[in-house]
Chain A
Amino acid sequence: MTDAAALSSAMEDYLEAILNIAERSGIVRVTDIASRLGITKASVAQAIANLKELGLVKQERYGPIELTQRGREIASKVQQRHLMLKRFLIEVLGVDPKIAERDACLIEHAVSPQTMEKLMSFLESLQKTPGATEEGKEQGTAMPIKAKPLSDLGIGEKGRVTRITAKGSIGRRILEMGVTPGSELSIVGIAPLGDPIEVMIKGYRLSLRKEEASYIMVEVL
């Protein structure tokens, strides 16, 4: 969370928007971000330049915008936070989904980082309380508790897959190899040079780069 907290909330919004667009259509262009956030292309271009300097996105001249591994990790966390707030509003307070979506954004921006952090840990503890998310469970959408990218896990840690955030051929390949939502896995090893990692899943050993692992959201067990 430290990296995410250090970024301005506007920058976080950009990262989240890039991730959302990437998940939806695969290719992210300045125009897409501008129309999603409802701002001018010029300000998007400026923001992308800043993010590039921070090493969070990469873009070749006139090419599509891509998140770096670090960028994707931060974006996933921001997205996760947003999702958690939204679900809290919908599932616990019973707010209308459309209003919840808008309010989640407003809350994220209005409150101080400290309040945000406290609120998050409160929501997390709330979810551990039995009964709190009954409604969510009935819909088959139990809130992912502390979901984080697989690339953040260390040797020996176990997790359950909650979501695959990659679209297209990488996403399909990940699924095909048996990394489907709900399946359990554990980190068996990390290559001598720090990447790729080795994972035990469905009774076999799968090796994958941290880059691919950052598309796999897991709930730590």
Chain B
Amino acid sequence: MKQLPAEIAVGGTRTAGCDIEIMTHEKVPCIMKEQENMSISEKLNILADAAKYDVSCSSSGVERRGDGRGIGNSSRAGICHSFGADGRCISLLKILFTNECIFDCKYCMNRKSNDVRRACFTPEEVCNLTIQFYRRNYIEGLFLSSGIINNPTYTMEQLYRTVYLLRTRYYFQGYIHVKAIPGADAQIVEQMGLLADRMSVNLELPTAEGLSRLAPNKHRKNILTPMRQIQQGITQNKEELMVYRHAKSFVPAGQSTQMIIGATPESDYQLLMVAEKLYQRFDLKRVYYSAFVNVNEDKDLPSLPGGPPLLREHRLYQADWLLRFYGFEAGELLSEQKPNFNVLIDPKADWALRHLEYFPVEINRADYQTILRVPGIGVKSAQRIVKARRSGNLNFEHLKKIGVVLKRALFFITCNGKTMYPIRMNEDYITRNLISNEQGRRPSPDGLTYKQLSLFDDYHMGEEESQWKSII
């Protein structure tokens, strides 16, 4: 891969293979009189506030030791440095380069038609903030995104200048996540990939119709093209690294994307199918789901009196984990007939209740994949079980002691052929107990549970209702 000379990226005449003339400074709306005297604190406030709806803040996926000549390293597991008032991890200095934007996406605070204060960093300011925050151990690296100034390629070049400076002049070896701007020239995306650890292109909305309705300037094709390019770059780079150990790595922490949940009427099933396709066909590391927050009061956007759809987002993340780590397929969890997740029960328990024929699972004999499908048993517990049972049979006491939470699992497992309590393998019975468990009650051993009337309790309401109707 050919290295773009710094002057071209920084000074800007004409990038090879790029059709668009790089704008000269007079045409740049971002450098305006007012902003020249704007303090760094004001800029940071505006541009962090503008970046906060972007979900991705992970710093994982790449293990890199410092070479002793600069500052920084990177840990495979990722490191969170703080947690904000919303409980979300703060791991990267998450900012926009500028919140100027020529696009007019209806869900976005920074859209062209909004009258908000605009600001723009200089590359040096971003570098300084990153280094000074990093050496105080506030952050794990930089997350750099941007509104679109002039055109996508120009915007991408600004980001490249910044990251190039940070890597080469400040010798920063920590984590860098950069957004690929849809529509930017392929060459600049490739150059960026050689400096960044992770890149992401936001899918924004799961379907092309939704996208054209809410983001008239964005096109599905423009989003998928850089995504495919980055994927191919990563695959190619892996081959290069196999041949030549010191080849420059390209987006070593993989790429991710993000979808907004609840701004358009798609079902959970559609969302999950899209996510599954992204994992399979684009080799994405992560798909993020972002509960829609209505900041613009646009007539095309749903009003959400109950606040952002956080429970729905939570269920999608649970299902996402099932896809990535538990060997589930989207089609197993949801279907055309049942397009949305259960509000009361997590997707894994929901699946298990519909497939009681697989249960109970014998802890001492079942293989790892089967144990992994038991509700309440996660990757760590399953691994511990498989390792610990090598030196003898396990019973429920052992399971408790090695840290397996039995609250939900006890309905689905046996140890040496026995269940923990006398349990009926009946969908209604287990469902009731799982839900009452949430409220802190123990399952009744005789199988006689009272059914408390509440608005949410009845799942078979539809069936019962129709039965009643037929009787009447």
- A-B interaction: no
B residues contacting A by CB (< 8 A) are none
A residues contacting B by CB (< 8 A) are none
